[in-house]
Amino acid sequence: MEMRSLFEPRAIAVIGASANPGKIGYRIVENVVRSGYRGGVFPINPRGGEILGLRVYPALAEVEGEVDVAVIAIPAEGVIDAVEACGAHGVKHLVVITSGFSEVGNLEAERRIVRLAREHGMRVLGPNIFGIYSAAGSLDATFGPGGIEPGSVAIVTQSGALGIAMIGKTATESVGLSALVSVGNKADIDEADLIEYLASDDRTRAVLMYIEGVKDGDRLQGILADVTRRKPVVVIKAGRSKRGSMAAASHTGSLAGADEVFDSVMRQSGVLRAESVQEGFSWVRYLASAPLPPGDETVIVTNGGGIGVMATDACEKYGVVLYDDQPVLAETFSGAMPDFGSSKNPVDLTGQATAEDYERALDAVLAEDRMHAAIALYCETALFDTSRFADLLREVYARYRERKPIVFSLFGGGEIEAVIRDLRGEGIPVFGDVYEAVSALGALYRARRRQRARAEPPEAVDLPIAEIRRVLDAARADGRTFLLAPEAAQVAAHLGLDVPRSTLARNLDETVRAAGEIGYPVAMKIVSKDIVHKSDAGGVALDLENEDEVVDAYQAILRSARAHVPDAVIGGVEVAEMVRPGVETIVGARQDPSFGPVVMFGLGGVYVEVMKDVAFRAAPVGRATASEMISDLRSYPILLGVRGESRKDIDAIADVVVKLSHLIDRCREIADIEINPLVVYDRGRGTRTVDMRILIKHPKGVS
């Protein structure tokens, strides 16, 4: 495994090691030594001498023996020479702390570092980072505050400051870390490389990523989709960049704000996205310590009706299922609660509950095989002996922590606050707020569902790519970055989409014949490159039921077009099949700047314009994912059939989504493709591709 020597190096050099305790180069050596690293440590500084009892080498070349990792902490201008020296010495990984590269526009120097490193077979972490901590290597090679406790949470962060702050946070909350990696500018090593390693690291039970921007999203998506089947991954994302909407020549484009795509692709990959740093931290801490629940059934035990109801609301919000078998609940709690309590879930022990009542009730839930997780809520009351409470929770937690997930939420004054602080410090999942407690349990349930769900097998979708490419190539040869309507219609036909029939007619006779062949009712449109807005020029007639109407419409269209644009060169009229009304939807696909090929589905009209009710996925997708995209929409009930309407042909939509997703994946020269509208009929009646627009990359931009 390529990354192993970064996390478990046999020897490490610190270039820019300093005897001055105020310098980063001192701090790193100090952390390496204090973390109990057992490999060789070689501080490098032209002055020589000693740091913390270690011999300082004036140059790396003077070090005898192999060095796996070199931490570089010297000013930017000296970095490239240091990289060269590392390459000559056979170093495997560079950890470049130094700032002043692409983050300030100095992209060229950063590229040179990576190029040179790669020439010597080295991989680069950074630049612009605070370093790396690895429990597997007993190595703290950061300039953070030190004192990191080893444990089972791995953190990969693009923000240095947040990463360093996490060290303090993990200490106060007694969260042990398996790794903490600062990725900074991600010139070479990125999240995908690190997550791949962490997936195979037995110490790591949960991963937290802080991401601002994604570079090689295509690869990251693939790796995450695989890793989340084994370990939970939580992401906190900042920076709602506008990059994704820059090429917004379509709905797919303008709706593909980088964040929407990011959000969808993370969900598709099984990653849990937290809204805030606090939430992310709280989830990952819980995910790393709690056992996966043996089943879905959760019971709330409370001494207050109000917080019980709030917890019920929170369960609905976070997808936690409440156990509902009333006779079993009544039997389970018969000896464990006062007569006036309620054994309905939430189980309400009432304000008179004592610590012993609590213990009995929690034991009853957690020892019962049909109940799989417990949410224990407590509101401070005058009757309760709070001093006993902390011990009680410790005991209950210790009894069941390996078998069933529990979350505690306590609410009250100073004594309760102190209990929360103490227990959290011991790693017990105690929260101050009901929603926070339930959201952590919800994250655990989502992780469980992900781990149990089978991966969708790749689907072979047979598309005539060579024929489609011929159409695209012809447009590119013509110097165009878009397809003309007849070309797009050809592509649609190659995809096997149901396109309305249409014919170009150059005179009245041809028009009448075409209408007869297509079948009534028909639509007619003027064809002239000089008339852009056909309707405004009176150049469109719809719903023509018979030959007489076609003759009248033909004359009216020509008259009106000529009156409107007197010099227009008229090529004839397009006679087209009238498309029966149905539900209008949009299917789009495009090359996303971060994630590569993505596919989109949404309902047309206000749903897409106003509600932005669309779903994205990384392409290609199979049928199951396409169906999930459709059911993800808030407007999904419209397709299911509401108010006496019948169910629409959802399978036929999924078919189009799958095809477009495979096309965008296999023809990377297509920048953006959109069917708007795709008209959908009742179940079994299919869809019609009324208008399809295809944008292609500029010929020069494609190899």
Check whether the bond before 620 is cis (ω within 30° of 0).
yes
Query: Per CB under 6 A, which region of 40-48, 194-202, 278-286, 398-406 contacts ligand ACO?
Result: 40-48
| HSE (side-chain half, CA atoms, 13 Å) at 254 | 8
Instruction: Specify the stretch interacting with ligand ACO by CB under 6 A; choose among 122-130, 496-504, 571-579, 683-691.
Output: 122-130
19 vs 558, which CB is nearer to ligand ACO?
19
- Report yes or no: 346 and 329 within 8 Å, Cβ to Cβ: no
Candidate list 41, 73, 471, 626; residue touching ligand ACO; CB under 6 A: 73
The nearer residue to ligand ACO, 99 or 451, going by C-beta atoms, is 99
Phi, psi (degrees; rounded to nearest 5) at 430: -110, 130
Q: Report the residue number, 46 or 105, with the smaller CB distance to ligand ACO.
A: 46
The closest alpha carbon to 229, from 441, 445, 440, 448, belongs to 448
* Binding to ligand ACO, residues 143-172 (CB under 6 A): 160-161, 164
Q: Is 371 helix (H, G, I), strand (E, B) or coil?
A: coil
Two structure tokens written together for 485: 């309507």
Within 8 A by CB and 6+ apart from 121, the residues are 92
CB of 39 to ligand ACO, least distance (A): 20
CB 297 within 8 A of CB 371: yes
Specify whether the CB–CB gap between 497 and 512 falls below 8 A.
no
CB of residue 99 vs ligand ACO: minimum separation in angstroms? Answer: 4
Q: How far apart are CA 471 and CA 40, in angstroms?
A: 62
Q: Please give the residue whose beta carbon sits closest to ligand ACO in the complex.
A: 160
Stretch that binds ligand ACO, among 126-134, 302-310, 412-420, 458-466 (CB under 6 A): 126-134
Q: 16 vs 257, which CB is nearer to ligand ACO?
A: 16
Comparison of 70 and 472: residue with beta carbon closer to ligand ACO: 70
Q: How far is the CB of 110 from ligand ACO (least distance, A)?
A: 13
Residue 16 or 429 with smaller CB distance to ligand ACO: 16
Nearer to ligand ACO, 16 or 232 (CB): 16
Report the DSSP beta bridge partners of residue 206.
153
- 371, 362 in Cβ contact below 8 A? no
Least distance (Å) from ligand ACO to the CB of residue 164? 5
Tokens 């506008």 sit at which residue?
Answer: 242
For 646, which DSSP code? Answer: P
Q: Cα(76)–Cα(78) distance, rounded to whole angstroms? A: 5
Tell whether residue 78 is a contact of ligand ACO (CB under 6 A). yes
What's the min distance (Å) between Cβ of 127 and ligand ACO?
8
Output 23 or 243, the one with its CB closest to ligand ACO: 23
Cβ-based nearer residue to ligand ACO, 157 or 343 = 157
| Burial of 548: CB neighbours in 10 Å, binned 0-12, 13-18, 19+ | exposed
In the complex, the smallest distance separating the C-beta of residue 13 from ligand ACO, rounded to whole angstroms, is 10
- The angle at the Cα of 99, spanning 93 to 102, to the nearest 5 degrees, equals 90
The region that residue 435 occupies, defined by phi over 0 for left and psi between -120 and 50 for alpha, beta otherwise, is alpha
- Please select the residue that binds ligand ACO; options are 82, 116, 266, 299, rule is CB under 6 A: 82
- Residue 93 CB, nearest distance to ligand ACO (Å)? 17
Please identify, using beta-carbon distances, which residue of 186 and 205 lies nearer to ligand ACO. 186
Give buried/exposed letters for 633-646 (b at 16+ CB in 10 A, else e).
Answer: bebeebbeeeeeee
Task: Give residues 87-106 in contact with ligand ACO (rule: CB under 6 A).
Answer: 97-100
**Residues 226-243: b if buried by 16+ CB within 10 A, e if exposed:** ebbbebbbbbbbeeebee
Under the criterion CB under 6 A, does residue 338 sit at the interface with ligand ACO?
A: no
Tell me: does residue 74 bind ligand ACO (CB under 6 A).
yes
Of 41, 63, 117, 129, which one interacts with ligand ACO (CB under 6 A)?
A: 129
Q: Please, which residue, 47 or 452, has the CB nearer to ligand ACO?
A: 47
Q: By C-beta, is 99 or 138 nearer to ligand ACO?
A: 99
Least Cβ distance, residue 619 to ligand ACO (angstroms): 35
Scan residues 637-696 and list those touching ligand ACO (CB under 6 A). Answer: none
Per CB under 6 A, contacts with ligand ACO among 517-546 are none
CA 273 to chain centre: 7
Q: Is there a contact between 392 and 331 (Cβ–Cβ < 8 Å)?
A: no
CB closer to ligand ACO, 96 vs 377 = 96
Q: Is the dihedral of CA 75, 77, 80, 81 positive or negative?
A: negative
**Of the candidates 406, 416, 421, which has an alpha carbon nearest to the alpha carbon of residue 376?**
406
Question: Quick one: the chain helix, strand, coil %, rounded to 5?
Answer: 40, 20, 40
Minimum CB separation of residue 165 from ligand ACO in Å reads 9
Please, which residue, 58 or 351, has the CB nearer to ligand ACO? 58
Q: In residues, how long is the chain?
A: 703
Enclosing H/E stretch for 92: none
Count of residues interacting with ligand ACO (CB under 6 A): 28
From residue 9 to residue 38, the character string flagging contacts with ligand ACO as x (rule: CB under 6 A) and all else as - is ------xx-xxx--xxx-------------
524, exposed or middle or buried, with CB in 10 Å at 0-12, 13-18, 19+?
buried
46 three-class SS: coil
Least separation, in Å, of the C-beta of 130 and ligand ACO? 4
270, amino acid identity:
G
Query: Of the ranges 123-131, 212-220, 285-293, 599-607, which one interacts with ligand ACO (CB under 6 A)?
Result: 123-131
State the minimum distance, in angstroms, from the CB of residue 32 to ligand ACO. 16
Quick one: tokens of 551? 């003759």
Q: How far is the CB of 85 from ligand ACO (least distance, A)?
A: 8
Closer to ligand ACO by CB, 82 or 156: give it.
Answer: 82
Residue with tokens 């397009």: 574
Contacts of 420 (CB under 8 A, 6+ apart): 410, 430, 431, 432
Which residue, 20 or 326, is less far from ligand ACO as judged by CB? Answer: 20
Least distance between ligand ACO and beta carbon 207 (Å) = 20
How far apart (Å, rounded) are the C-alpha atoms in residues 596 and 217?
7
Q: Write each residue from 182 to 221 as x if it is in contact with ligand ACO (CB under 6 A), else as -, in one continuous string.
A: x---------------------------------------
Shortest distance, CB of residue 105 to ligand ACO, whole angstroms?
Answer: 15
Phi-psi region of 668 (alpha: psi -120 to 50; beta: other; left: phi over 0): alpha
The residue range among 125-133, 502-510, 578-586, 642-650 that interacts with ligand ACO, by the rule CB under 6 A, is: 125-133
What residues make contact with ligand ACO under the rule CB under 6 A? 15-16, 18-20, 23-25, 44-47, 73-75, 78, 82, 97-100, 128-130, 160-161, 164, 182
